[in-house]
Chains A and B, each alone.
Chain A
Amino acid sequence: MIWLTIILMTVIIFISRYIFIEPKLPLRLSPSVVKFLSYSAPAVLTAILAPIVFIQENTLHLNLDNSYLIGAIFAVLLILITRNTLLTAILSMLLFFLIH
């Protein structure tokens, strides 16, 4: 039963990742769909990162005691100044672990 679960989960997840990059799928993305999808990366990544930054233990933390928020503000400033993704990630992680 566990193996069946694992295999069916594998199938569902692989299809969800693969189906739209299959060229034989008769799908023509209209310019407005392409435009819509151009917002997907910033919107999805923000939807993943926002709860990490603002919510700890099911509560909203908008104060400066929140080391995630401090680190996030630092990361925003750093990327605006350096324009270097890797450097920003590493330096803001260092700051975060110093204050966390």
Chain B
Amino acid sequence: MQDQQSDSEQASPSKLKSALKGAASAMPLSIAVIPWGILAGSYAIEAGLDVIQSQAMSAIVFAGAAQLVAVGMIKSGVGLASILLTTLLITSRHFLYGMAMRHQMSPLPLRWRLTLGFLLTDELFAICSETKQHKFDRWFAFGGGFSFYLIWNIASAVGIFAGQQIPNLDELGLDFAIAATFIALVVPSIKTPSILVSVLVSLVTAVLCELFHIPGGLLIAALSGMSAGMLTAKLTHETHPNKTILTRPGDGL
């Protein structure tokens, strides 16, 4: 794949700096994902996948929640169609991320789109949302996404080879790191009353969905929150502070 922007191949100091900055931003999330990676690896072995299949789950599927659920379904002998439908339900939030990142990522050369598209996890979306207001930096995104990918795969490998020997991994409370990092990203983004409404509706809906074990709760909560925010902005005739950045010439109907 040769694209016109061959200059982006050379790793100049500023690109390396951006990538390292991205890796640093993703670091709390990468740490938080370690126990889940170990779990994904050891659970795959336990379910009867061989070493290469177990690692391939993390290396090419690369989707924490979907991996764990699919491995559980393989283990209990559920059919392929059900596994794929469940995968689609769990992964559907990524459609939203892609749409939200369309303005930033679709103008990039193909190899960048493929790379960042493959790396577009919850975590990458989270750290990119922080810089979305400013200019999108592909190296920052790559550094964050790729460091996260490496740590997820190393953790999975540890789980594959040593998982059974590590007790009480889930009782460590490392998932708090996810909560803390997301709070640090969400709170500063609440710049208007409608965003506050959006966050509160999403919060309550997500908690209710989780308590009542409603499948697809994450997506339901997110869409409810987004709709509530939109509605609030309409009803209060709110003007968005970043309006100029959100629209691009040539877009829109």
Residues in chain A within 8 A of chain B (CB atoms): 1-6, 8-10, 12-14, 16-23, 27-55, 58, 60, 67-68, 71-72, 75-76, 78-80, 83, 85-86, 88-90, 92-93, 96-97, 100
Besides the known contacts A23-B107, A34-B251, 14 further A-B residue pairs in the complex with CB atoms under 8 A apart: A6-B61, A12-B88, A16-B94, A18-B117, A20-B95, A28-B252, A39-B194, A41-B126, A43-B223, A43-B229, A47-B221, A49-B182, A60-B211, A80-B187
Q: How many residues of B contact A (CB 8 A)?
A: 98
Contact A40 B97 (CB under 8 A): yes
Contact A43 B99 (CB under 8 A): no
C-alpha spacing A54/B175, complex, angstroms: 12
> Would you give 9 A-B contacts (Cβ < 8 Å), ordered by A?
A13-B87, A18-B118, A19-B98, A22-B113, A29-B102, A37-B99, A52-B179, A75-B183, A79-B183
Q: Which residue of B83, B105, B107, B177 has the most chain A CB atoms within 10 A of its CB atom?
A: B177
Contact A54 B207 (CB under 8 A): yes
C-alpha spacing A75/B49, complex, angstroms: 40
Contact A2 B246 (CB under 8 A): no
Contact B218 A44 (CB under 8 A): yes
C-alpha spacing A99/B58, complex, angstroms: 33
Please report whether the interface of chain B is mostly helix, strand, loop or mixed according to DSSP: helix
Which positions 105-146 of chain B face chain A at CB distance < 8 Å?
105-107, 113-114, 116-118, 120, 122, 125-126, 129-130, 132
Contact B61 A68 (CB under 8 A): no
Contact A85 B185 (CB under 8 A): yes
Contact A35 B80 (CB under 8 A): no
Q: Which residue on B lies nearest to A20, using beta carbons?
A: B98
C-alpha spacing A100/B173, complex, angstroms: 8
Q: Which residue of A20, A30, A43, A49 has the most chain B CB atoms within 10 A of its CB atom?
A: A43
Q: Which residue on A lies nearest to B47, using beta carbons?
A: A2
C-alpha spacing A39/B56, complex, angstroms: 34
Contact A34 B66 (CB under 8 A): no
Q: Which residue on B lies nearest to A69, using beta carbons?
A: B179
Q: Contact partner of B226 among A31, A39, A45, CB < 8 A?
A: A39
Knowing A5-B80, A12-B84, A96-B173 touch, does A45 contact B126 (C-beta < 8 A)?
yes
Contact A47 B184 (CB under 8 A): no
Contact B129 A29 (CB under 8 A): no
Contact A42 B199 (CB under 8 A): yes
Contact A71 B179 (CB under 8 A): yes
A47: which B residues are within 8 A, CB to CB? 202-203, 205-206, 217-219, 221-222, 225
A49: which B residues are within 8 A, CB to CB? 178-179, 182-183, 186
Contact A88 B99 (CB under 8 A): no
Q: Contact partner of A43 among B49, B118, B188, B222, CB < 8 A?
A: B222
Contact B233 A35 (CB under 8 A): yes
Q: How far is the CB of B84 from chain A (nearest CB, A)?
A: 6
The verdict on B72 contacting chain A, using a C-beta distance below 8 Å, is: no
C-alpha spacing A39/B96, complex, angstroms: 11
Contact B25 A20 (CB under 8 A): no
Contact B117 A17 (CB under 8 A): yes
Contact A39 B251 (CB under 8 A): no
Knowing A3-B53, A5-B80 touch, does A37 contact B91 (C-beta < 8 A)?
no
Contact A44 B125 (CB under 8 A): yes
